[in-house]
A = this chain, B = another copy of it.
């Protein structure tokens, strides 16, 4: 045993040094993934040939205001990561993937995104590619996250997967036969604005009763405020106390925190939330016949408070009921990195 081990350890020790020497050929090129959010930019460098999701370098910066500033910040972030991995590993970067919060067409132009109005119409891929001198692949952020979870996370090995991110709104990405569903123009995967009640509350998008009015983090807060307004919950419910006594300030976070403190009214709101989430998921399963549903996004950290009920309701609502194979609904594994990891791996796939 000792005789077998020694040479392997010696090789492992020798490796790092030659890679830092300019005389030694570097390893296979790396990819960079960027996730453009409304408030922050997350960037990381990944080895596409390594099975894990651990980045070789990672950085987070605030999202600046203004189109030019956003492009500069993205380019700076990517350049910094490129320098960092070059210094650390001697390996070069082959391409960059970018996840953006909205509709991105196949040419890499940002077509629609209420959270980043200034970027609409900008050819993100071309602009960033020119600044960096590297190929840049752009896709919807939830699509990137879906690809990350498919390749390195909770949907690994599942050909037909559906990722739903629950945050301010609802994002989604799907794989069909192991490939990302992009659709005819690159705009597939927007169930957050699936209308599930045409007489429901107004959505900033202009419709009424969009699914994300109910089943997002924003929706959870709205359901709680509505419960007080309609008398379904008392005005002194625990979740109101968590919001400093102001009903109008109640958010999803307050509801989750109150439920954890044993607030019955908050638990009742979470049951309603679970049912709305299930309604939309069942609609999607009936259409897509997914093999697995992965729940990600900020609200998924409270999944223990609602997901069991959602699972039971989806079983009731999915067409064919027990005669249909039950779709597992599981938590995402990559956390806030999912979008950037997926963007990096999409870049590796397409360049």
Contact = CB atoms under 8 A, between A and B. Distances in A.
Contacts of A177: 179
A183 interface: yes
Interface string A163-189: 000000000100011010111111111
A327 B185 CA distance: 10
Contacts of A15: none
Contact of A317 (B121, B207, B287): B207
Contacts of A179: 177
Interface residues of A, number: 50
A109 to B, nearest CB: 10
A120 B205 contact: no
A183 B288 contact: yes
B194 A197 contact: no
A316 to B, nearest CB: 8
A324 B160 CA distance: 26
A287 B196 contact: no
11 contacts: A172-B287, A176-B181, A183-B289, A183-B290, A189-B287, A190-B319, A191-B286, A194-B286, A195-B196, A195-B282, A197-B197
| 9 closest Cβ pairs, A-B complex | A183-B289, A184-B291, A112-B320, A188-B289, A160-B184, A187-B289, A190-B286, A194-B283, A111-B323
Interface of A: 103, 111-112, 120-121, 158-160, 172, 176-177, 179, 181-191, 193-199, 205, 207, 279, 282-284, 286-291, 317, 319-321, 323-325, 327
Given A183-B289, A198-B279, A205-B319, 12 more contacts: A103-B323, A111-B323, A121-B323, A182-B289, A184-B327, A185-B289, A185-B291, A187-B289, A188-B287, A193-B319, A194-B287, A196-B198
